[in-house]
Structures are given as C-alpha cells and as structure tokens.
Amino acid sequence: MRTDKLLIFCTVVVAILVCSSCPRTEQGVRTELIELQTTDGVRLDSVLREPYPDRAKAGVVMVHGYGGNFYSGIMAFLPQALSRRGFATLALNMRDHDLGPKKNLFEENLPDIVSGMDEMARHGYEALFLYGHSMGTNRVLFYLAQTEDPRIAGIILTAPPGNLFQWNVRTFGLEAATQLLHQAQELKTEGKGDTWMLIDLGPLGKTLYTANHVVSLRGPQTLSDPFMNIARLSIPVLIVHGLADRLADPQVADQLKNNAGTGSHVTVRKVRGGDHRFREHEKELEEIITQWLVQQIK
C-alpha cells in the first residue's frame, strides 16, 4: 500500500515538472499573432485574443491612436482584459503606427480597419464592435461613416481628441495653427505635397509630416472630423474620457454626443482622475466597457 502511494506521489511530481517546462496558453485566453494584408497590399501585424475554452460572446476590433501600436499604452492591457471577460479582441497596427515621419493620408486608414473586420468575420464572429483610442476614435468613426458596415453592432471611443485642427488651436493658438496649415496647403497646391515639414505636437514632441499628411488631417475638407462622422451613425456608442486627461479635452466626449446622429444611443462616462491612458484606472475602464458590451449583446 505504501509502495502504491509512493508511486502515485512520484507520478504527480513528474507531471508537475513536465507541465512546468511546457509552453503555456495564458489562463483563460488563447493568443495568436496574425499578419493581415490590406486590399492595397500593405501588411499589418495584429494579435487575436480569444477566451478559452469557452466561445467568445462577441468580437472587438481595436484601433490604436497616433504614434501607437497594438501592444503598448492602452493596448498593453485592454485587449487582454476584455478577452478575460469573454470577448474576442483583435488589436492591429495601422500603416502609420508608432512614432516617426508620417506621409499617409488619413483616409488610407480605411483598408487597414477593413482587414481587421474581415479577419474577425473569418473567425466566425457575427456580433462585432469597433474600438478606437485617442486619434483612433477619428479613424473608427470615419470608417463606419464611410462604409456603414452592417457587421458592427456598436462603437467604443476612449479619450477622443476631437477635430484635429481645433486640437492644434487649443495647443498652440489660432495664429500658429492657421499659419502651419496654410503653409501645407500652399505646398500641396504647388504640386509639392510630398515635401517634409517639421511639426510640433506639443507634449508628443516633434516629428516630420508631409504637406499632404497635414492637409488630410487638418484641412477644411478633412475626412478626419469626428463631429461630422458621428452625425452619420445610427448605432450604439460608448465614449469614455478621463477627467485628468491633459492631451485631449474631456469636453470633447460631450461635444461628440451632442453631434451624434438621431438614431444613435450615446453613453458618455467620465473617469475621475483618469489620464489619457487611464493609468491607475485600468480596472474601472475595463468594467465600464465590459458592462456596456454585455448590455449591447443582450
């Protein structure tokens, strides 16, 4: 009898040692790196997280903000947190991800988001939500206003900066913002839209934009204006903004709600003490988004 117990004990110990040396799937979440390809041939990195072993309640395509990527900042915790709460998430890079020179037009983000939506659909998720953070909010609002994608059941926006020209006016004053835009417009009119311009982004530092890029973001005909785009929506919208956000004005959340289409049901939540990335308020943000998602799929 003692021999049998010893044998069982040894077997358990060996099993524990073997398992400890095996590759592990993160508890409750299966993670897969996926290379996407857009319709215009751009390759984008992304990460798909799916609840395991239970099937996800719905899918969320997640778009980062200016200078961001799919694995840092708010994307370092929120996609994983939502997947732990039962939602599949696909966080993807935009073609102009990370800091550095920017030459793409704002509207060229559209096929990037299409690739993410199509990838989630290929995994069988019928209830899909679109999430954008910071300038990513402008991107996802533009996408939905342009495509009216029927697969999207709702849209989530965190820390929206609002109209990008107005953001520059608040940061640098009307005269400086107008002068810079006029300079870019003149270069574009002269056929020199690919000329590089040194752009001051205030708290984000300085970088190079082409004149075409500047005009696509800030010009009077820009497609990036979130107030214009949200007016065309007729789906549920959640907007979350930190009251301690020093990069994007928390009042933008209310302005977006006031400009939303009559068919939209917009929920605005303010997080006291939350900064642009909701540092030290990650759990509160996770709870707000999760509760809203659960309400939508009911």
Contact 217, 180 (CB under 8 A): no
pLDDT for position 203: 86
Give the position of tokens 């390759």: 43
How buried is residue 215: exposed, middle or buried, by Cβ count under 10 Å (0-12/13-18/19+)?
buried
Give the confidence band of 18 by pLDDT, cuts at 50, 70, 90: very low
DSSP label of 71: S
Listing DSSP states for 80-115 in one string gives HHHHHTT-EEEEE--TT-SSS-B-S-GGGGHHHHHH
State yes or no: pLDDT of 149 exceeds 50: yes
- The sheet with strand 266-271 has its strands ordered as 29-37, 43-51, 88-92, 59-63, 128-133, 152-158, 237-242, 266-271
Q: Please give the full DSSP string across 147-178, using - where no structure is assigned.
A: H--TTEEEEEEES----HHHHHHHHH-HHHHH
pLDDT exceeds cutoff 70 at 7: no
What pLDDT band is residue 129 in, cutting at 50, 70 and 90?
Answer: very high
What are the backbone angles phi and psi of residue 59, rounded to the nearest 5°?
-115, 145
Output the pLDDT for position 72.
95
- pLDDT tens figures, 273-291: 999 999 999 999 999 999 9
Separation of alpha carbons 75 and 83, rounded Å: 12
Question: Are the C-beta atoms of 276 and 248 separated by less than 8 Å?
Answer: yes
Q: Indicate the helix (H) or strand (E) that contains 197.
A: strand 196-200
pLDDT at 68: 95
Residue-wise pLDDT tens digits, 220-257 = 999 999 999 999 999 999 999 999 999 999 999 999 99
Looking at domain 27-163+224-297, its CATH architecture is 3-Layer(aba) Sandwich (3.40)
**How large is the average pLDDT for residues 119-146?**
96
In this prediction, residues 264-269 reach a mean pLDDT of 95
Q: Mean pLDDT throughout 160-189?
A: 97
Mean pLDDT throughout 4-23? 36
Task: Supply the pTM of this predicted model.
Answer: 0.89
46 closest CA partner among 156, 122, 134: 122
The mean pLDDT of the chain is 91
Band the pLDDT of 27: cuts 50, 70, 90.
low
